[in-house]
Amino acid sequence: MGLSSPKVLSLQLSKQIKQYLVITGNYWAFTLTDGALRMLVVLYFHQLGYSPLNIAMLFLFYEVFGVITNLIGGWLGARLGLNKTMNIGLALQIVALSMLTIPADMLTVTYVMAAQALSGIAKDLNKMSAKSSIKLLVPKENEGKLYQWVAVLTGSKNTLKGIGFFLGGLLLTILGFKGAIILMASLLTIVWLFSLFALKDDLGKTKYKPKFTDILSKSSSINILSAARLFLFGARDVWFVVALPVFLAVNFHWDHWWVGGFMASWIIGYGIVQSVAPYITGKEPTGKAAFFWASYLMLIPVAIALTLHFDFYIQASLIGGLLIFGGVFAINSSLHSYLIVSYADSEGVSLDVGFYYMANAMGRLIGTLLSGWVYQEYGLASCLWISALFLALTAIISTKLPSDGIKI
């Protein structure tokens, strides 16, 4: 009876929450450096004369290895524990940052792509560890609280990433590229050392040793949600990653500070909306909500594409449309993030979450590649029509999700 007393259970839960708070703090610290690094690379290589498309290609391996890491990372988390995958991710980010401290004339495209590959692996190990942890801390019967925790974590991550964009520009101005990289690597090393000491429990480690073939989800609801997630994020990045920044610079004559600042502000606002999504969708939404919100989102790129076609107040329409798209997309993203954690099996949660975010990374990769190629060949309107098509597919796929919130 002593082990099941309310007092002992309270202490055990408190210990778990402390572990989760450390993981969340690590995730936030990592996210700041990740956002700052992306802006540092964009601005610094822009100064060196790289074209926007070439700069986007520097992040190709970042996205490719994100796909691989999410697929394998969930398996590692189940075998090793989420504390170890978190610490491995932090260590890899420190290595990736250190690689960029060499003299500027040695920073070739291939070399920077390799550093970004390590950073992509590190980022997705951290994200998978943080998202998977929530499932283990919230009682199964308290789905509303689960959604709130997921929304706050997801929203705060994107808000911090936007702040990281500003931080990257500030550090580049004050310390220069190399100085900024050294400072971030030093601070992250302190976080990593603390994490090695503080994260002692094997949170998320399964009682059995999952086989490598277990990385593929055997749950139909998770497979359906993963397919929907792929097209959802492909729909965002097909016009947001390359096409939009280049369009703003070329057609509106914005300099890189205006473009970077605007994109950072958009991401911060996007993160804030994600955090409050449970108060908009309801605290225990089902797959039916995913269908409706994807359908609403599909209408926005269609409307923006039409304003471009008819040359109707293009600047106001594009910026206003982007802000509305960001708000509705944030709700979709937060809703999906809740559903995957809700559907995931508590025993081996990182396997399900890892598979799902593999699809997320694949969507980003497809969107990034299409964004550069379609914009270069056909323009921004074509990117928006593809976005609308992807969102239509997201909505159609979402009709197959369970409408009662139960995993199938």
In this prediction, residues 380-396 reach a mean pLDDT of 97
CA triple 393-270-40, angle to 5 deg? 105
Answer yes or no: is pLDDT of 397 > 70: yes
Q: Quickly count: other Cβ atoms within 10 Å of residue 272's Cβ.
A: 16
Six-digit token string for 66:
């994100």
Higher pLDDT: 357 or 381? It is: 381
Task: Quick: pLDDT tens for 186-200.
Answer: 999 999 999 888 876
Task: Answer whether residue 3 shows pLDDT above 70.
Answer: no
φ, ψ of residue 264 to 5 degrees: the values are: -65, -45
Residue 2 has pLDDT above 60, yes or no: no
**Can you give the pLDDT at residue 376?**
82
**Euclidean distance between CA atoms 406 and 388, whole angstroms:** 29
pLDDT of residue 8: 42
* pLDDT band for position 256 (cuts 50, 70, 90): low
- pLDDT-based confidence at 408, cuts 50/70/90? very low
Residue 57 to residues 50, 121, 123, 369: CA-CA distances in angstroms? Answer: 10, 17, 18, 8
Say what the pLDDT of residue 209 is: 58
Of 35-49, 110-124, 322-336, 373-387, minimum mean pLDDT range: 35-49
* 375: pLDDT strictly greater than 60: yes
pLDDT digits (tens, 9 = 90+) for 155-167: 887 888 888 888 8
Contact 85, 205 (CB under 8 A): no
Exposed e or buried b for every residue in 8-45, given b needs 16+ CB within 10 A? eeeeeeeeeeebbebbbebbbbbbbbbbbbbbbbbbbb
Residue 130 scores a pLDDT above 60: yes
Q: What is the mean pLDDT of residues 129-146?
A: 69
* Total residues belonging to the chain: 408
pLDDT at 170 over 80: yes
pLDDT of 188: 94
Report yes or no: 237 and 371 within 8 Å, Cβ to Cβ.
Answer: yes
Residue-level pLDDT at 394:
98
pLDDT above 90 for 227: yes
Residue range 142-149: average pLDDT?
A: 72
Average pLDDT, the chain: 83
List, for residues 17-53, the tens digit of each pLDDT value: 676 678 778 888 888 988 888 878 877 887 787 776 6
Confidence band (pLDDT; 50, 70, 90) for 149?
A: confident
Highest mean pLDDT among 193-202, 252-261, 305-314, 359-368 belongs to 305-314
What is the reported pLDDT for 184?
94
Query: Residue 111: is its pLDDT beyond 80?
Result: yes
Query: What pLDDT shows up at residue 95?
Result: 96
Dihedral over Cα of 32, 62, 122, 181: its sign = negative
pLDDT band at 326 (very low <50, low <70, confident <90, very high): very high
Q: In the predicted model, is pLDDT for residue 257 greater than 80?
A: no
pTM above 0.85, yes or no: no
Please check the confidence at residue 1 and state whether its pLDDT lies above 70.
no
pLDDT at 307 over 50: yes
Amino acid at 358: M
Tell me, what's the pLDDT at 390?
98
Check residue 228 and give its pLDDT.
96
The least confident of 14-18, 23-27, 122-126, 391-395 is 14-18
Query: What's the pLDDT score for residue 9?
Result: 38
String of b and e for 141-151 (b: at least 16 CB within 10 Å)?
A: eebebbbbbbb
Tell me the domains of the chain and their CATH numbers.
9-201+212-398 (1.20.1250.20)
The 10 Å Cβ neighbour count of residue 106 is: 7
pLDDT at residue 346 is higher than 70: no
- Please report, rounded to a whole number, the percentage of residues in the chain having pLDDT higher than 90: 32
